[in-house]
Amino acid sequence: MRILQLCNKPPYPPMDGGTKAMHNLTRGLLTAGHHVRVMCIHTPKHPFPVKDIPEDYARRTQINSVFVDTSLNVVDAFTDLVTSDNYNISRFFSPDMDIELIKLLSADRFDVVLLESLFMTPYIPTIRRYSLAKVILRSHNLEHVIQERIASGEKNILKRPYRRFLARQLKDYEMAVLDRVDGVAAISPADAQKFAEHGKPTPIATIPFGLIPEDYEVSLAKGPVPDFFHLGSMDWLPNEEGIRWLLTSLWPKVVKKHPRAQLHLAGNKMPKDLIRSKIEGATIKGRIKSAEDYMAKHDVMLVPLFSAGGMRVKIIEGMAMGKCVISTPVGAEGIEYTAGKDLLIAKNQTEFLQHMDRILRDPMEAVRIGTKARELVEQRYSDKRIVKDLLTFLRSTLRQ
């Protein structure tokens, strides 16, 4: 099968959840013997590090990228507000990218064009004009759900109505896309269900994030006092919201009951006020060299997300390493867990405290949960299974 993978940021190097989801799929499709061409945009936030791309990867994918300035522009945002366009989406469209896409589609034939995220959908008209390929949206998140949750938690009464408007506008756009694609590969069952509830005949499948379990060395909780950690990019608002709640509302209560408890936080764009803060039992860093090394050093992953959507890649990676994970239901969306067996779910502060207290009193609880977490990843989130499911879905759309 000949597949063109259009990405909203460079999939290499795989630095965050989105890039890892894209890169792992590329790797899996290539391993399965398919032809994959990668075309992406790069931005001020996500540059294209040509010198870091392995020669074999560059040769096999023929990856190329076009710079698009997606920086927020007040004038453009206001114009889109007046014209009812969606600025969150429209800022990813570039005439330069469109021209390069036309050149590629005019020179080569593809069976499938895989749109990585909603942000690549502005290029659908060009794809339809210059190619007979099936267009499949790989939905990493239901973007309007994230915006709805952020709006509901907005404390500024002046910003709240605007955020709600943006969420409604984004929902209308997201659902209208169903009429413009030949299929949707949603990353979580919850997202697939929300798409299906819209009543469109567009084929929808759940294709979650996958990895190669053997790439992750198991590192179970160790020592008489397991420590807690969180790792995530802090330029993503749901992460910052969750961490500030953790530090101000939850952690002081944990330390009061367990003075020896330790919390470790790290992530790109960590706010300076948090790095400078002196919080008992907490160590806060910014960007780190290796996420895997960082997770291996620590014991219990905390995921205090309240306004996210889709599927958290870091949780799957942590589970692959045998980490016990304590997450909100929102943070664990998309993962086929059994609460209390392979993942601990905390709906509120009280339940977070209960789980953390139990682990600090009985460290073997973290070992038991982590062992079952690794088993779940091996059974459900192996790349081989994910790629097989995706190819089955793509072939079904080609027959239509």
- Average of per-residue pLDDT across 47-66: 94
Question: pLDDT-derived band of residue 154, with 50, 70 and 90 as boundaries?
Answer: low
Question: pLDDT-derived band of residue 211, with 50, 70 and 90 as boundaries?
Answer: very high
Question: pLDDT-derived band of residue 228, with 50, 70 and 90 as boundaries?
Answer: very high
Lateral strand order in the sheet of 228-231 = 282-284, 263-266, 228-231, 300-303, 324-327, 344-345
Same domain, 238 and 161: no
On the question of a cis peptide bond just before residue 13, with omega within 30 degrees of 0, the verdict is yes
- Give me the pLDDT at residue 82, please: 41
- Give me the pLDDT at residue 255, please: 97
Same domain, 203 and 289: no
- Give me the pLDDT at residue 75, please: 43
- Give me the pLDDT at residue 91, please: 86
* 63 within 8 A of 55, measured Cβ to Cβ: no
The span from the first CA to the last CA of the chain, in angstroms, equals: 16
- Look up the domain containing 311 and give its range: 214-380
Give 323-375 pLDDT, tens digit per residue. Answer: 999 999 999 988 999 999 999 999 999 999 999 999 999 999 999 999 999 99
Residue 351 to residues 304, 334, 346, Cα–Cα distance (Å): 12, 21, 5
With 90 as the cut, is the pLDDT of residue 90 above it? no
Same domain, 98 and 153: yes
Share of the chain above pLDDT 90, in %: 70
Same domain, 232 and 362: yes
Q: Which long-range contacts (CB under 8 A, 24 or more apart) does 246-254 make?
A: 246/302, 246/304, 247/274, 247/277, 247/279, 247/282, 249/349, 250/304, 250/349, 250/352, 250/353, 251/279, 251/281, 251/282, 252/280, 253/349, 253/353, 254/281, 254/353, 254/356, 254/357
Same domain, 122 and 184: yes
With 50 as the cut, is the pLDDT of residue 79 above it? no
- Average of per-residue pLDDT across 150-156: 67
The pair phi, psi for residue 4, each rounded to 5°, is -105, 120
What lies within 8 Å, CB to CB, of 91 at 6+ separation is 68, 70, 72, 73, 76
Same domain, 36 and 174: yes
With 80 as the cut, is the pLDDT of residue 166 above it? no
- Give me the pLDDT at residue 196, please: 87
| 139 or 104: which leads in pLDDT | 104
- Average of per-residue pLDDT across 127-133: 98
Same domain, 373 and 387: no
| 305 or 86: which leads in pLDDT | 305
With 60 as the cut, is the pLDDT of residue 73 above it? no
Question: pLDDT-derived band of residue 84, with 50, 70 and 90 as boundaries?
Answer: very low
Same domain, 129 and 158: yes
Same domain, 196 and 222: no
pTM of this structure:
0.81
Q: Per mean pLDDT, which of 14-23, 156-165, 201-210 is the most reliable?
A: 201-210
Choose the weakest-confidence range: 177-181, 247-251, 371-375: 177-181
| 344 or 210: which leads in pLDDT | 344
DSSP structure class, residue 91: T
In the structure encoding, which two tokens stand for residue 303, read together? 């995921």
* Among 398, 370, 204, CA closest to 298: 370
With 70 as the cut, is the pLDDT of residue 85 above it? no
- Give me the pLDDT at residue 25, please: 94
- Give me the pLDDT at residue 173, please: 84
CA angle, residues 69, 309, 232, in degrees to nearest 5: 70
**Amino acid, single-letter form, for residue 39:** M
Mean pLDDT across the chain, nearest whole number? 90
Q: Per mean pLDDT, which of 116-120, 218-222, 261-265 is the most reliable?
A: 261-265
With 90 as the cut, is the pLDDT of residue 89 above it? no
CATH number of the domain encompassing residue 44? 3.40.50.2000
Choose the weakest-confidence range: 82-86, 279-283, 352-356: 82-86
- Give me the pLDDT at residue 147, please: 65
- Give me the pLDDT at residue 81, please: 45
* 188 within 8 A of 141, measured Cβ to Cβ: no
State the total domains in the chain.
2
Same domain, 224 and 160: no
* 205 within 8 A of 183, measured Cβ to Cβ: yes
With 70 as the cut, is the pLDDT of residue 4 above it? yes
Choose the weakest-confidence range: 75-89, 100-114, 213-227: 75-89
Same domain, 34 and 95: yes
Same domain, 318 and 246: yes
- Give me the pLDDT at residue 223, please: 80
With 50 as the cut, is the pLDDT of residue 206 above it? yes
* Among 229, 232, 250, CA closest to 240: 232
* Among 69, 136, 63, 59, CA closest to 96: 69
